Structure 1
Amino acid sequence: MFVIGMVTNSCNFKKEDFKQGKSVSQEELFLGQKPPGLIPELFALGIVSTNHLEVLAAISPNLDEFYFARQIKGEVSKNLGIRFENGSWNTFMEEPNTGEMFISTDNKTMFLGNKYRERTPTGWSGEKSLESPYDQIPIMRLTSSVLGTYVFDERDSIGTLRMSVVKNGIREEPIEMGNVFNSGTYIAHPFIATDESYIIWDCEKEDGYGSSDLYISFRTKDGSWGAAINMGEDINSDMEDSYASVTSDGKYLIFHRVKLGDTFDESYADIFWVDAQIIETLRPKQ
C-alpha cells in the first residue's frame, strides 16, 4: 500500500493568484481553480499537486477545508489540512498520518479508519476509538452518509467492504456487502454518496485498465445495489486510480492516481478532479 508523508512549508495562497484562463465567478472557484470538464485534471496545481507525492483527499461539506496527505522524500508521514479564511488558503493542520481521513456530512467528525476525532471550538479533538466491533477490524477508510450509514473496507487478503446502518436511532452490526462490491482484488476505499444513491470504490478486475480502477454501483428502485460499473477510460488509467469522493454540492469527483516505482524518485502520486456529471453518464436508465 502507498505510504504518505509530510509538508515542510505552510500555505498562504490568495484565491486570485491561482485563477487559470479566463475569469470565473466566485461561486465557481474552489481553491482558486477553473472548474474541470469531463476529463480529469490535476487538482490545485501548486497548492495541493506539487512535485511531491499527494494522495487521500478529504473535503469538508461546507467546502472551506481541504485535507490530503503528502510525502516528501526522506521525511515522515503527515496529514495536511488547509482552510479558506480571511481571503486566502492557509495551512491549519500538519501532523503525523494516523489514518485515512473522511469528514462527516454534519462537519462534526473526522473519521480515521477505526478511530475518529470530534470538532471542538479550538480544533479537532484527540483520537477516540469507534469501539467494538470496529476496533477489531483493520479499517483503512470509513465514509458515512447523511443517514449515518457507514461503508468501510478491511485490510485483508483481497479487501472486503462492509456496511453498518442506523435504524430507529440504533447502529446495527456491520455486515459484509455482497458480490457486487466484494469481487476482484485489492478492494478498498469506498465512498457512499450523501443520499446513499451510489457507492464508489476501487479494486483490480480483469476488465480493468491496469492497476486499481474506480467502480460505481447505483442503488436501484427496490433498494438493492446495481452491477459494478467500471468508471471508464477517462477516469481510469494504467496507474492506480483510487480513493474517490464527491464534494457535498455534487459538482466534483476527486480521486488520486498513483504509480509506485522501485524508488521514491521513480514514483508518482497526484490528486485529480473532474466534473461529477461523469457519474450521471454512467447511471443506468430505470
Structure 2
Amino acid sequence: MHPLFAVQDNFHYNAAPLDFMHRKRLTILLTFCVSIAIAIAGDKPQLAPEIFAPGIISTDLDESCGCFSPDGQSFYFVRRGAYTTSPPISIICFSDFRGGKWSHPEIASFSGMYLDGSPYFSPDGRRLYFGSKRPAQSSPGGRDWNIWFVERTDTGWGEPKEIGGPINTPKNDTNPAVAADGTFYFASDRDSQPGYLHIYRARLTNGKYQLPEKLGTEINSGDAEINPYITPDQKILLFGSYRKDNLSGGGNHYDRADLYVSVNRDGHWMQARHLEHGINTTASEGNPTMSPDGKWFYFTSERSPFEIPMKEKLTTASWRDRQRAIENGVGNIYRISAEALELNR
C-alpha cells in the first residue's frame, strides 16, 4: 500500500478525536509534498533521446546534419537522396520557428544542385559554412569535398564562396565548425587514405587561417573521425568516430559511427569519451550540435524498429507502416538534455 494511503487508513480507523486535526494536517502536508516532488520531477529534462520536430523536420525521409542559427529561430539541416545515384545528391534545408512551431522546411537558396552537407553557422550568424562536392578550384570536377560559405544579405544569402587554402586541399575537406575567435575545426583526409578523415584545427591570425594542425590522439584514433562540433569557447568538442572498440554491440555490421565528447581542461583535450544514455545504438549516430542556450544536445541517428529476428512476424500492413514511419532506418534528428553529456565527469 502506498504510504500516503496508509496514513489515511490509520487516522480513519484508529485516530482519537483529539488528534484527528493533527493527522489531517499531516496528510495534507504529505499530499502537498508528493505533488511538489512529482511536479519537479516532471519538469526535469528526461535523459532519453526524443525525435526533434516529428513530421516536420524529422520525417520518413533521410535527415541529418542539423544546426541552429545563433538566435535559435532557424534550423538548417540536410535531406539526402538515394545513394544509388552517382554522385548522390543531398540538399540543405531550413525551417523557421514561427508562432510557437517550426515551419515546413524549404531548400536553401544556395543548395539543390550538388551533394551538399554539414551546415554550420558562424557565432555571429553572418556566415553559414557547409561542405559540398560542387566544382571548386582544388577539385574542378567536383569529385572531392570542399568547404564553402555564404554570407547574409538584406534579402537572404549571397552566392557560395570557397573558403580556399590552407583549409581546402585536393583531398576531402568537410564538416566545418567555427569557434568564437574564428578558430576553424573540420574533418579531412589530407594525411591519410581517401575517405579516412580526421579532425583538424586552423587558427585565425590577423585575418588569415594558419596551417591546419591535426588534433592529438585524445581525439583522433586509428579509425576515422568526422562531424566536429565546437562550443564557442572551445571547451567542449563533440564528434563522430568509426572506432570499432566502442561501437555499440548487436546487429549486423555496417559502416557506422558513434558519438564522443572531449573536454578541454587547462588547454589540453581530455581523452574522448563514448556517449551514453541511449545516444549511441547499434545504428549509426553522428552530426552533433547544441541548442544556442546549451540546454539541449542534438544528433543524427539511423535507428529503426527492425531487429533480426523480429519479435513478431511482419505482415504486409505492418511492413508498410514501419517503412513509412519516422524511425524507419534512415536518418532522423534527435535531442536529449545536455545533462546526458555528463561534462563534469
- Pair in the same fold by TM > 0.5: yes
Partner of 1:217: 262
How big is each residue's C-alpha offset from its partner over 1:40-67, in whole Å with a ceiling of 9 and x where there is no partner?
Answer: 1011111111111111111111010011
**2:108 counterpart of 1:64:** no
How big is each residue's C-alpha offset from its partner over 1:175-219, in whole Å with a ceiling of 9 and x where there is no partner?
Answer: 111111110423101111121111011112212215311111100
Which stretch shows the higher mean deviation, 190-199 or 67-76?
Answer: 67-76
The whole-number CA distance in structure 2 between the counterparts of 1:277 and 1:88 is: 24
Partner of 1:131: 164
TM-align CA RMSD: 2.6
- Structure 1's unaligned 5+ residue stretches are 1-33
The whole-number CA distance in structure 2 between the counterparts of 1:245 and 1:89 is: 18
- Amino acid aligned to 1:129: E
- Amino acid aligned to 2:50: E
How big is each residue's C-alpha offset from its partner over 1:76-106, in whole Å with a ceiling of 9 and x where there is no partner?
Answer: 5322111134665435741415232111110
- Amino acid aligned to 2:247: G
1:171, distance to aligned residue in structure 2 (A) = 3.0
CA separation of 1:169 and 1:69: change in aligned 2, threshold 3 A: closer
Partner of 1:82: 95
Partner of 1:40: 49
Task: Describe the SS at the equivalent of 1:51.
Answer: coil
Partner of 2:344: 283
The whole-number CA distance in structure 2 between the counterparts of 1:170 and 1:77 is: 30
1:197-236 to 2 correspondences below 5 Å = 197-205=235-243, 206-210=245-249, 211-221=256-266, 223-236=267-280
> In structure 2, which of residues 118, 122, 144 is the aligned counterpart of residue 100 of structure 1?
118
CA separation of 1:231 and 1:92: change in aligned 2, threshold 3 A: closer
The whole-number CA distance in structure 2 between the counterparts of 1:36 and 1:241 is: 21
Give yes or no for contact 1:231–1:282 (8 Å, CA) kept in 2: no
1:68, distance to aligned residue in structure 2 (A) = 1.3
Identity %: 26
Q: Which structure has the greater CA radius of gyration?
A: 2
**2:183 counterpart of 1:149:** yes
The whole-number CA distance in structure 2 between the counterparts of 1:91 and 1:127 is: 24
The whole-number CA distance in structure 1 between the counterparts of 2:343 and 2:258 is: 15
Give yes or no for contact 2:263–2:343 (8 Å, CA) kept in 1: no
Task: Describe the SS at the equivalent of 1:78.
Answer: strand
Which stretch shows the higher mean deviation, 107-116 or 82-91?
Answer: 82-91
Task: Describe the SS at the equivalent of 1:277.
Answer: helix
Which stretch shows the higher mean deviation, 202-211 or 236-245?
Answer: 202-211
- Structure 2's unaligned 5+ residue stretches are 1-42, 132-146, 250-255, 307-322
TM-score (norm 1): 0.78
Task: Describe the SS at the equivalent of 2:340.
Answer: helix
Task: Describe the SS at the equivalent of 2:54.
Answer: coil
Task: Describe the SS at the equivalent of 1:278.
Answer: helix
1:3-14 to 2 correspondences below 5 Å = none
CA separation of 1:129 and 1:72: change in aligned 2, threshold 3 A: closer
CA separation of 1:86 and 1:271: change in aligned 2, threshold 3 A: closer
> In structure 2, which of residues 116, 124, 130 is the aligned counterpart of residue 112 of structure 1?
130
Task: Describe the SS at the equivalent of 1:135.
Answer: coil
> In structure 1, which of residues 140, 149, 162 is the aligned counterpart of residue 200 of structure 2?
162
1:166, distance to aligned residue in structure 2 (A) = 2.5
Partner of 2:294: 250
Between Structure 1 and Structure 2, the one with more helix by share is: 2
TM-score (norm 2): 0.65
The whole-number CA distance in structure 1 between the counterparts of 2:150 and 2:53 is: 26
Give yes or no for contact 2:57–2:104 (8 Å, CA) kept in 1: no
CA separation of 1:120 and 1:93: change in aligned 2, threshold 3 A: farther
Task: Describe the SS at the equivalent of 2:168.
Answer: helix
How big is each residue's C-alpha offset from its partner over 1:1-25, in whole Å with a ceiling of 9 and x where there is no partner?
Answer: xxxxxxxxxxxxxxxxxxxxxxxxx
Which stretch shows the higher mean deviation, 44-53 or 151-160?
Answer: 151-160
The whole-number CA distance in structure 1 between the counterparts of 2:66 and 2:118 is: 9
Partner of 1:50: 59
